[in-house]
A and B are shown apart, each in its own frame.
Chain A
């Protein structure tokens, strides 16, 4: 084990995979000379050269599509899209091509492609730069979408994504890059399609992914200390495929669930989770499934407005307390902040 930031874990994993396999190469805007907008690829151009670390023009559709084409011929490109907002320019290549090629041609061509891209929000970047639209990709059969929340999972899921023969959207998060944690030294990939129980508990199931899984763990720990609450935390890890079984098993045990998401509520990922729980654990629920999500507005720039629109620890704590009240549980302190 080594303590690393999420950023360092990503960097080190990219590097070790490039050393392991000559066919792994990186493409994206500003990843080489500039060393990455968020410095994940720092030093890699100097070490591996332009062939393996390829700076591209500002042409998301063009270079993402080129990565898909290179993958069809057996290379294993890892594309960086600067933030997930810009992936919209490559939507046709991702949805109509990467996700379709294997099935549409009867299994004759694989697309071993990874698209790394961070979601965000909360950095006062305004409406066009604060979205979390991983749902668009998680919606699409043929895609795999993974979303680590810790440095260890970042490593394990990136290993899995690079070694996988299908297109994988690898969701990072601006707020997580500087977070730290223990990272195993061995190269054991995660299993794509499996959720992870981060914390066992009996009072309520708290579900999140990416930044919201991080928040979930923090809130659960704080409430254990301050309220003596025993909350089970599930990190989805994989948005497609979705590990429904783990969710249902947990809710059958806790009888209540709160879902956290950094995207918009209506038609969002939380809606899918809530529907899943209603399908699989209806008789076990003692309260409606509650969702915490972004306010449904184009994200404002003003710090005051942005803070109001973006889900915080307080919002999570409130949702938990209200759900437990609906269950009928008495709590010592209701609605208190644990930031």
Chain B
């Protein structure tokens, strides 16, 4: 991985947002993915400037955090796979703004932005990427498996669709206890084709569970388009098979997403599960290492108009909520937070090897194996060498 790619990942924001005009309906003429426009509800008439600015801060944090992570990956500070939310910032921010603190989120491996928006310290999110003890999952999860019970992020999951039955069960627990929390379960468009999708939505509808399933339709599952993978490419329509309400929303606009999410969550809180499809774009490869050669130059060129961060920046300036200088300042602030997160993660300790068996079981048990690869099963005296004795 060259450092050339790393520097490419930093978006050149300045010249772009000043010249850009806000497209009224970017989805109706979206030739990129040939998605049909949804019957969209218009955004609230009265624009809340304060909320827009907050959204911009949040989206910028995700943008700069992800770029920082991509750079760290090329510097071999991050291992494994690393999937970014670049292009999905408005979707992530809008969705997360609609959850209460007590609500639960289950998501997939593309979850750094969700972790940040649940209120987890960026330092701890970055530390997890670096595999350090201060990481949200103490270095056990990595990019794909962030978890924080205190912030009710109940996991990023690396197995496509794995989070769906789990989230459904969390909603069952809420229902069992008669609480008024809800579960949000996000997934990608490709995930809608896995069997767990059907089993989970059917169960949730049958049992009136308080859950919102969210499909982030970024048009691609790795290199496979929605058209190639889904017999019904308008994924929100699948809800009708479960007598479930659903909606499709434009993921370029955080306000539209937040409003749609609020409607979906309100429905779920009454014990009616909901399927929300958020149409979005993946601005980069499937993961940091993917050059996305399967996308045409023309398609990639058009992606710029679906950049939610640029779009919101242009809008803030055009509608005079912020000056260009103020937009820059926000960028600088969030860039600084990402840099601080990097510095923190770098300084956080590596886990001690003596902790390797700390999480074998929640309930300690006899004869639990704690053997390192080269160790013998039995001592010379014929005693088991390392069962529970470590």
Q: Mark A137-175, 1 if CB is under 8 A from B, else 0.
A: 000011010000000000000000000111000000000
**In the assembled complex, A280 has its CB within 8 A of some CB on chain B:** yes
**In the assembled complex, A72 has its CB within 8 A of some CB on chain B:** yes
Query: Which A residues lie within 8 Å of B361 (CB)?
Result: 102, 142, 144, 165-166
Query: Which A residues lie within 8 Å of B202 (CB)?
Result: 57, 59, 62
User: Which residue from B162, B358, B360 sits with its C-beta under 8 Å from A97?
Assistant: B162
Query: Which B residues lie within 8 Å of A144 (CB)?
Result: 361, 365
Contact count A vs B, C-beta below 8 Å? 188
CB contacts under 8 Å to A, within B195-217, are: 195-196, 199-200, 202-203, 206
Whether B176 contacts A70 by the Cβ 8 Å rule is yes
Q: Mark B287-298, 1 if CB is under 8 A from A, else 0.
A: 000000000000
Whether A106 contacts B203 by the Cβ 8 Å rule is no
Query: Which B residues lie within 8 Å of A108 (CB)?
Result: 137, 147-149
Q: Which residue of B lies closest to A74 (CB)?
A: B173
Whether B176 contacts A106 by the Cβ 8 Å rule is no
- Nearest Cβ on chain A to B140's Cβ, whole angstroms: 4
Known: A93-B165, A279-B377. A57 touches B203 (CB 8 A): yes
**In the assembled complex, A314 has its CB within 8 A of some CB on chain B:** no
Whether B206 contacts A193 by the Cβ 8 Å rule is no
Known: A97-B162, A106-B140, A252-B382. A66 touches B387 (CB 8 A): no
Task: Output the residue of A68, A93, A108 with the most chain B CB within 10 A.
Answer: A108
- Nearest Cβ on chain A to B320's Cβ, whole angstroms: 45
Q: Which residue of A lies closest to B377 (CB)?
A: A279
Known: A93-B162, A105-B145. A62 touches B366 (CB 8 A): no
Known: A57-B203, A65-B196. A70 touches B140 (CB 8 A): no
Q: Mark A241-259, 1 if CB is under 8 A from B, else 0.
A: 1111100100010000000
**In the assembled complex, A305 has its CB within 8 A of some CB on chain B:** no
CB contacts under 8 Å to A, within B340-390, are: 358-363, 365-369, 376-378, 382-384, 387
- Nearest Cβ on chain A to B230's Cβ, whole angstroms: 20
Query: Which A residues lie within 8 Å of B387 (CB)?
Result: 241, 244-245
**In the assembled complex, A103 has its CB within 8 A of some CB on chain B:** yes
Q: How far is the CA of A108 from the CA of B135 in the complex (A)?
A: 12
Query: Which A residues lie within 8 Å of B363 (CB)?
Result: 164-166
User: Which residue from B362, B366, B369, B384 sits with its C-beta under 8 Å from A110?
Assistant: B362
Known: A70-B176, A101-B155. A62 touches B165 (CB 8 A): yes
Q: Mark A81-120, 1 if CB is under 8 A from B, else 0.
A: 0000000000011001100011111111111100000000
Q: Which residue of B lies closest to A52 (CB)?
A: B176
User: Which residue from A63, A93, A141, A166 sits with its C-beta under 8 Å from B362?
Assistant: A166
User: Which residue from B166, B360, B365 sits with its C-beta under 8 Å from A68?
Assistant: B166
Whether A65 contacts B382 by the Cβ 8 Å rule is no
Q: Mark A65-79, 1 if CB is under 8 A from B, else 0.
A: 111111111110100
CB contacts under 8 Å to A, within B281-320, are: none
Whether B159 contacts A92 by the Cβ 8 Å rule is yes
Query: Which B residues lie within 8 Å of A244 (CB)?
Result: 367, 377-378, 384, 387
Task: Output the residue of A51, A72, A106, A192 with the most chain B CB within 10 A.
Answer: A106
- Nearest Cβ on chain B to A66's Cβ, whole angstroms: 3
**In the assembled complex, B138 has its CB within 8 A of some CB on chain A:** yes
Q: How far is the CA of A280 from the CA of B367 in the complex (A)?
A: 15
**In the assembled complex, A35 has its CB within 8 A of some CB on chain B:** no
Q: Which residue of B lies closest to A27 (CB)?
A: B172
Q: How far is the CA of A163 from the CA of B361 in the complex (A)?
A: 13
Query: Which A residues lie within 8 Å of B195 (CB)?
Result: 61
User: Which residue from B140, B155, B168, B383 sits with its C-beta under 8 Å from A245?
Assistant: B383
- Nearest Cβ on chain B to A305's Cβ, whole angstroms: 34
Task: Output the residue of A66, A74, A77, A104 with the most chain B CB within 10 A.
Answer: A66
Q: How far is the CA of A250 from the CA of B380 in the complex (A)?
A: 17
Query: Which B residues lie within 8 Å of A56 (CB)?
Result: 203
**In the assembled complex, B174 has its CB within 8 A of some CB on chain A:** yes
Q: How far is the CA of A102 from the CA of B171 in the complex (A)?
A: 20
**In the assembled complex, B154 has its CB within 8 A of some CB on chain A:** yes
Question: Interface residue count for B (Cβ, 8 Å)?
Answer: 54
Query: Which A residues lie within 8 Å of B173 (CB)?
Result: 69-70, 72-75
Q: Which residue of A lies closest to B365 (CB)?
A: A193
Query: Which B residues lie within 8 Å of A77 (CB)?
Result: 169
Known: A106-B137, A194-B367. A69 touches B165 (CB 8 A): yes
Query: Which A residues lie within 8 Å of B384 (CB)?
Result: 244-245, 248, 280
Query: Which A residues lie within 8 Å of B378 (CB)?
Result: 244, 248, 279-280
Query: Which A residues lie within 8 Å of B206 (CB)?
Result: 57
Whether B141 contacts A61 by the Cβ 8 Å rule is no
Q: How far is the CA of A326 from the CA of B365 in the complex (A)?
A: 37
Task: Output the residue of B148, B174, B206, B387 with the most chain A CB within 10 A.
Answer: B387
Whether B369 contacts A69 by the Cβ 8 Å rule is no
Whether A66 contacts B169 by the Cβ 8 Å rule is yes
Whether B149 contacts A109 by the Cβ 8 Å rule is yes
Q: How far is the CA of A105 from the CA of B172 in the complex (A)?
A: 22
Q: How far is the CA of A66 from the CA of B206 in the complex (A)?
A: 13
**In the assembled complex, A205 has its CB within 8 A of some CB on chain B:** no
Whether B170 contacts A72 by the Cβ 8 Å rule is yes
Known: A65-B200, A92-B162, A244-B367. A109 touches B147 (CB 8 A): yes
- Nearest Cβ on chain A to B194's Cβ, whole angstroms: 9
Q: How far is the CA of A128 from the CA of B362 in the complex (A)?
A: 34
**In the assembled complex, A214 has its CB within 8 A of some CB on chain B:** no
Whether A51 contacts B176 by the Cβ 8 Å rule is yes
Query: Which A residues lie within 8 Å of B367 (CB)?
Result: 193-194, 238, 241-245
**In the assembled complex, A281 has its CB within 8 A of some CB on chain B:** yes
- 29 A-B residue pairs with CB within 8 Å: A59-B199, A59-B203, A61-B196, A62-B200, A63-B203, A65-B168, A70-B173, A71-B169, A72-B169, A72-B173, A73-B104, A92-B159, A93-B166, A101-B155, A105-B137, A105-B145, A108-B137, A141-B360, A142-B361, A144-B365, A164-B365, A165-B362, A166-B362, A241-B367, A241-B368, A243-B367, A244-B377, A245-B387, A279-B378
Interface residues of B (CB under 8 A from A): 104, 106, 135, 137-141, 145, 147-149, 154-155, 157, 159, 162, 164-174, 176, 195-196, 199-200, 202-203, 206, 358-363, 365-369, 376-378, 382-384, 387
17 additional A-B pairs beyond A69-B167, A97-B162, beta carbons within 8 Å, are A61-B165, A65-B162, A65-B199, A69-B165, A73-B174, A92-B159, A92-B196, A93-B165, A105-B141, A106-B135, A106-B138, A107-B359, A164-B363, A166-B362, A241-B369, A252-B382, A276-B377
